[in-house]
Each structure stands twice: as structure tokens, then as C-alpha cells.
Amino acid sequence: MSEPGLVVVDVAAADDATALAFQQLLADRWATATAEHTTRDVGEPGVRLRCYLDLRQPVLPAVTPDAPLPRVRA
């Protein structure tokens, strides 16, 4: 990428669910151009996925299953 703060992330995972879950974790924190699907290399185990992050955006807090959701004021 030609601009500071823009990052290409290549993910290698055992399966689609793992790769897409990892991508979602990134998307929950940063502005992310997500991939719709994974790719497979013939004769190679696992899957690959590429997504793009914009680290210039403010980092959002991580959301965990046991953390309370933030309150939204109308």
C-alpha cells in the first residue's frame, strides 16, 4: 500500500470458519475491507484470505462475550 496506516493482512488458516472469524476480530477493531470468501491452493492444506485494514481510524474497544455492551444515548 502506498499510504501510511493502510495494511494488507494475509491469513492462512486450517479452515474457512477460522479464517473468517479472525477477519471478523480485525473488523471489530479497525476499518476493514473484508473478503467474502477464502481461497485454496491445490494440493496444499488449509485456506487463505486477504483483507485490508485502515489503522488511521481510532481503535475500537474489543468486545468480549462477558463484557457489558456500551450504552447508547438517544
Where exactly are the structural domains of the chain?
A: 6-54
Q: What's residue 4's pLDDT?
A: 77
Q: pTM above 0.85?
A: no
Mean pLDDT by 10 residues, the chain (74 residues): 78 95 89 88 93 80 60 50
Q: What's residue 36's pLDDT?
A: 87
Q: What's residue 22's pLDDT?
A: 93
Q: What's residue 56's pLDDT?
A: 83
47 burial via Cβ count (<10 Å: 0-12, 13-18, 19+): buried
Torsion angle of alpha carbons 20, 24, 26, 27, nearest 10°? 130
